[in-house]
Structure 1
Amino acid sequence: MAIELRWCASLLDPSFPAEHYEALRQRLAASTPFNHLGWLHAAEQALQPGQRLAVLLGWQGEQLRMCLPLVHSREAFGPVRLAVVRHLGYPLSDRIGLLNELPAAAAAQALRAIRRHLPHAVLQLNEIPDAQASTPWLACWARRSSTFERRLACRVPVHQISAADAQEVSGDPRYKLRRARKRITACGAVQRRVLADASNIDALLDAISAVEAASWKGDDEVGIFSGPQRRLWMYQALRALAEQGMVCLVLLELDGRCISYRLGLLERGRVYDYNLAFCPEYRELGSGRVLLDELIRWGLEAGWQHIDASRVSLDNSSHQLHERQSASIAHWRLSCCSWRPSGICLGLALRSWQWIKPRLRAMR
């Protein structure tokens, strides 16, 4: 059956095939909460001046088989600004599934369409999980790029929930948990589980965004609620996910006030541990580890299968799930440099830096 590629200017356009998109998302196991249409609607509304969205749709007959929402913008690379294309959701989407079930024979056709419609120096896809980063599609795109870079972004710890989680964890984490629980009990704080819905999500977001603003994330302006653009995005996205029962929180409250939290995004029995923060005056409580244990126990009772760290630092990650991980998932950043002069020059610069960087380290 013939493949037809079409462009759509917005996910919010009434002509966008939302029902077909959701059917595609449900068919593909690689889909994550960051592919949910509510999340992407919020991401689109948070785009900044100079960013342009274009959605590439792939059809076979009456069935939608591919949807790539792409953002075109200009970004600084050293002293120059170059045209870049990214998947909608960067940089706050922690794991993107490429929603594509077209045959590999369509890969070159899709890449040509992107390069014609969105001329760029580099097409960069961030936070692509291991299983998708080596597909025939991306192998085809790599062969048709002036330079292709596949760089490890992080290795995410994963905990498989099992009956053993009903028992107290063993080893050093046991003593850390016991000490933290004693401190929490001594100060009178209590834990609370909340599965957010439309009636309570705004109050929850107000509470946790206040905690983040008071934390080091707020001071450094790196939190998910930092700045008007991110705050708008998070409020709209998490409202949409909460309406679908996809937002779970474990809170630590003192005298009715939230002083620490973990925010998870839930889909298909997997919880993505997306964000946490605590008020600095209560840092000595060690609440993060206790709330993670509470999230795992909640998952055991609710029948969830996995808890992921969502995203961690590439080097020296301090995420507490490392203490209990049963597996890991690699995230990759894929860069496809075009054959435009700007893409060729950028590719040469990237290859040169890859050659120079290890030698600089050796000299140091």
Structure 2
Amino acid sequence: MFNRSRKGTFGAAGIAATCVKTAEEVEALCEAWDALAARDATATTYQGSAWLATWFRHHPNVRPRVFVAFRGDRLTAAIPLCAYRARFQLASTRILRLAADNDSDYGNALVDPEHPGDLAELVGAGLLRSRTWDLLDLRHIPASASLAQAVRAASGPSRIHHVAQDVAPYLDIRSEWQASVSRNQRSQVLRHRRQLEAEGPVAFDVARSADEVVGMLDQFARIHIARWRQRGETSVFCIPTQRAWLHAACQALHQRGELYLCRLALAGNPVSMGLYVLSGRRLTNYMIAFQEEYRRFGPAHLLIAAAIEDVRRRNLADIHDFGRGGEEYKLRWTRATQPLERILVARRSLAGSAALCWAARVQPFIWRHYRAATLLREFRRRREARRSA
């Protein structure tokens, strides 16, 4: 159980708030956290305890800084952050980022709709006044997110920068996808489906039991590793901590009915597989893998079409969310996108200025250049794989 005696470090009248700094305390908050997420209509799987608590558990080297606000025993606002240290030139910099930000499509806080001002209080009186950081780096934030609004409304001696970072395409699937996509996309998907079916029996299935989740994830990992190896790059499944976390997160999501792990197979051989999450009538694509030998059939597109048809038939979702990233294959399905922004808040200090220069100028330059971004990602993944082996 969460130790409520630690509350009350800051907050307005009626609000008791604190900063949680251990993974064990995060685990103890899960029940209250889930209740808050259920009340917050904007919450996604990436703000849920199944995602975040398992991430903290399998990344013991991270330092949680989870800001929470209570009214009595009711959790009314939460900002899941982690503390990092970095060195820029001569300055050692303390950075706060959202937990699991690189492993999530969307970042946000949680807020109780009956007490919407509690998040603003948590940000203004708690987070922004804390002297434990030089740069607050909030990534992949929907422009309409409650956290973005709270930071915009806050005042203080810090520099706040809002930068367009990415987009997240989505498709309304309340009607058949054939009526929503372009004629060219529809023709290609249907033609490739006929060509694949001419090769043999085609089947689409979804993991139903915990054992099926384990088996399909292992199969997914083998395909993903092989695919990335062909590109000369390292799959996240080659990193032991990441693989263990994904297994744990998927099992936790499966227990809640939020996991949609699917497979398209030809004569029993996997063609493509998809790891999706289900939340709030939204099916979000987290990761897709396919076998190179089936590339000519457009295996990712066939899987997407099959998943949309399945969730529509079972009335599970109204939106197919392609997740963050405006890759060409996503935009062949839809032109509707949700803008995502990066919010940078820097202290007026040498360390804060150095970190802001890196985050606002150098990093975007690297990310805009595919080769440089790929090399940096590969360096980090190989380093992480060695450290966690």
Same fold (TM over 0.5): yes
Q: Aligned partners of 2:146, 2:30: CA distance in 1, in Å? A: 26
- Structure 2 residue corresponding to 1:325, chosen from 318, 334, 350: 334
Q: Aligned partners of 1:137, 1:42: CA distance in 2, in Å? A: 27
- Structure 2 residue corresponding to 1:126, chosen from 139, 145, 164: 139
Higher relative contact order (CA 8 A, sep 6+): 1
- Structure 1 residue corresponding to 2:284, chosen from 272, 294, 311: 272
**One-letter code aligned to 1:85:** L
Q: Deviations over 1:60-105 (max 9, x none)?
A: 2332111222110113547865221111112101112311245547
Q: Aligned partners of 1:270, 1:138: CA distance in 2, in Å? A: 26
**One-letter code aligned to 1:264:** Y
Q: Secondary structure at the match of 1:344?
A: helix
**One-letter code aligned to 2:187:** Y
Report the alpha carbon displacement of residue 188 of structure 1 after superposing the two structures with TM: 2.4
Residue in 2 that maps onto 1:9: 21
* Alpha-carbon contact 1:148-1:334 (below 8 Å) kept: yes
Task: Using the aligned pairs only, state the percent identity.
Answer: 22
**One-letter code aligned to 1:20:** A
**One-letter code aligned to 1:263:** L
Return closer, same or farther for 1:177/1:234 CA change in 2, 3 Å cut-off.
same
The 5 A counterparts of 1:226-245 are 226-245=238-257
Q: Aligned partners of 2:244, 2:361: CA distance in 1, in Å? A: 39
* Alpha-carbon contact 2:123-2:150 (below 8 Å) kept: no
Report the alpha carbon displacement of residue 163 of structure 1 after superposing the two structures with TM: 3.2
**One-letter code aligned to 1:292:** I
Bigger shift: residues 145-154 or 115-124:
115-124
Residue in 1 that maps onto 2:346: 337
Equivalent residues, number: 350
Residue in 2 that maps onto 1:311: 324
- Structure 1 residue corresponding to 2:294, chosen from 271, 274, 282: 282
Report the alpha carbon displacement of residue 223 of structure 1 after superposing the two structures with TM: 3.9
Report the alpha carbon displacement of residue 250 of structure 1 after superposing the two structures with TM: 3.1
* Alpha-carbon contact 1:133-1:332 (below 8 Å) kept: no
Q: Secondary structure at the match of 1:30?
A: coil
* Alpha-carbon contact 2:46-2:106 (below 8 Å) kept: yes
Residue in 2 that maps onto 1:139: 152
TM-score (norm 1): 0.85
Q: Aligned partners of 1:330, 1:138: CA distance in 2, in Å? A: 17
Residue in 2 that maps onto 1:188: 200
Residue in 2 that maps onto 1:360: none
* Alpha-carbon contact 1:312-1:319 (below 8 Å) kept: no
* Alpha-carbon contact 1:338-1:344 (below 8 Å) kept: yes
Q: Aligned partners of 1:54, 1:352: CA distance in 2, in Å? A: 26
Return closer, same or farther for 1:149/1:181 CA change in 2, 3 Å cut-off.
same
* Alpha-carbon contact 2:19-2:68 (below 8 Å) kept: yes
Bigger shift: residues 93-102 or 132-141:
132-141
Report the alpha carbon displacement of residue 222 of structure 1 after superposing the two structures with TM: 5.3
Note the aligned Cα RMSD (angstroms): 3.0
> Which runs of 5 or more structure 2 residues have no equivalent in the other structure?
1-12, 367-389
**One-letter code aligned to 2:18:** R
The 5 A counterparts of 1:240-259 are 240-259=252-271
Bigger shift: residues 111-120 or 18-27:
111-120
Q: Aligned partners of 2:27, 2:177: CA distance in 1, in Å? A: 47
Q: Aligned partners of 1:103, 1:235: CA distance in 2, in Å? A: 34
Q: Aligned partners of 2:54, 2:279: CA distance in 1, in Å? A: 18
Residue in 2 that maps onto 1:58: 69
Matched, 1:88 2:99: yes
Matched, 1:202 2:214: yes
Q: Secondary structure at the match of 2:59?
A: coil
TM-score (norm 2): 0.80
* Alpha-carbon contact 1:34-1:96 (below 8 Å) kept: yes
Q: Secondary structure at the match of 1:200?
A: helix
Matched, 1:148 2:157: no
Q: Deviations over 1:279-326 (max 9, x none)?
A: 22222221111111111111221222111111114xxx2133x23327
Matched, 1:68 2:79: yes
Bigger shift: residues 342-351 or 20-29:
342-351
Q: Aligned partners of 2:361, 2:248: CA distance in 1, in Å? A: 42
Residue in 2 that maps onto 1:362: none
